[in-house]
Amino acid sequence: MSKGMQPKDFAELYDKFQANVSRYDCGRFCAPLNGGTPICCSTQHAVPVVEKTEFALLKTRSDLWHRFKPYDATTKKIVSELASSCCAIECKGAMFCERDNRTLACRAFPFYPYINREGEFIGIGTYWIYEDRCWLMSNMQVVERDFLEEFIAAYEFCFAKDPAEFETMKQHSATHRRTFTRLKRPIFLIAREGGFLKVLPGGKGIVKVAREDLPRIGIYKSERSYAKAVKEAGGTLPEQSVMANS
Ligand code: SF4
Ligand code: SF4
């Protein structure tokens, strides 16, 4: 029986997975909607969940992280439903980020390993509940090749050490398909060999798509809709255009 990922395995994984997701500092685009803090670095939006063994490693390297204290009914539910091998943690905040001591979740966000019906790890999908706030999910064309390769190597390493994690991601992918079939929407993926895929709803197959055909979502559809959302949130527009090309 597998013992799962141990602290030394997370240390090895951190060494393997260091690439920047893109040449953009994507937090500049979502932070103006969230009081100046990137959405994924704020427990008001996303509570980091880690294996207890990962937290054990982090505590030997830094005082950046502490146990997360639930602050409302939703976060109490998140914490109460965690598997016994996991815990919810919180960092000191984006101003204090330590690049080498980011969790696997920090490094991978907003992506997860997508497993198809046949059980093959064919690419990377997104945590769709953040699609209305996360700029990167509307701009998957900017993801760098190095990031993609390191992401895949990191999760293959993780799955080899901890088959239960593979099952969790397989279930998550199935939930993604069910949810999007109900919504009659396709799922867009970055293929593991590069390029993009579209998973058609209702199990109607998977087709290749060009980067120009990737969707922009909600407020990220235009400069205008983004500027309106930033204004409503009381934020300041970034200098760089929100419509990235490559
Ligand atoms: S990954 Fe998404 S939510 Fe996180 S900083 Fe980038 S744009 Fe914001
Ligand atoms: S460690 Fe860095 S990347 Fe991770 S949540 Fe904290 S500020 Fe964000």
pLDDT category of residue 25 using cuts at 50, 70 and 90: very high
Distance, in Å, from the CA atom of 185 to the CA atom of 222, rounded to the nearest integer, reads 21
187 touches 125 (CB < 8 A): yes
| Substitution candidate for ligand 1 out of 30, 97, 138 with most atoms within 8 A of CB | 30
- How much distance in Å is there from the Cα of 10 to the middle of ligand 2? 17
Tens digit of each residue's pLDDT (9 = 90 or more) over 101-140: 999 999 999 999 999 999 999 999 999 999 999 999 999 9
Distance, in Å, from the CA atom of 114 to the CA atom of 163, rounded to the nearest integer, reads 15
Whose atoms come closest to the Cα of 142: which ligand?
1
Distance, in Å, from the CA atom of 228 to the CA atom of 223, rounded to the nearest integer, reads 9
Lookup: tokens for 81: 């439903």
Q: What is the pLDDT of residue 91?
A: 97
218 touches 33 (CB < 8 A): no
Instruction: Please state, for a pLDDT cut of 90, what percent of the chain lies above it.
Output: 96
Of 21-25, 57-61, 197-201, 239-243, the one with minimum mean pLDDT is 239-243
pLDDT category of residue 244 using cuts at 50, 70 and 90: confident
Checking 201-204 for CB contacts under 8 A at 24+ apart, the result is: 201/177, 203/117, 203/177
- Indicate if ligand 1 lies below 6 Å from the C-beta of 89: no
Q: What is the pLDDT of residue 94?
A: 95
- How much distance in Å is there from the Cα of 65 to the middle of ligand 1? 20
- How much distance in Å is there from the Cα of 43 to the middle of ligand 1? 13
3-state SS assignment for residue 121: strand
- Indicate if ligand 2 lies below 6 Å from the C-beta of 102: yes
201 touches 185 (CB < 8 A): yes
- How much distance in Å is there from the Cα of 236 to the middle of ligand 1? 17
Rounded to two decimals, the pTM is: 0.95
CA 36 to chain centre: 19
Looking at ligand 1, which atom is closest to the CA of residue 135? 7
The closest alpha carbon to 2, from 159, 163, 168, 167, belongs to 163
- Indicate if ligand 1 lies below 6 Å from the C-beta of 14: no
Lookup: tokens for 156: 């293959």
Tens digit of each residue's pLDDT (9 = 90 or more) over 177-188: 999 999 999 999
Buried b or exposed e, range 143-174, using 16+ CB within 10 angstroms: beeebbebbbebbebbbebbeebbebbbeebe
151 touches 217 (CB < 8 A): no
- How much distance in Å is there from the Cα of 41 to the middle of ligand 1? 8
Distance, in Å, from the CA atom of 75 to the CA atom of 44, rounded to the nearest integer, reads 9
Looking at ligand 2, which atom is closest to the CA of residue 101? 1
φ and ψ of 112, to 5 deg: -135, 160
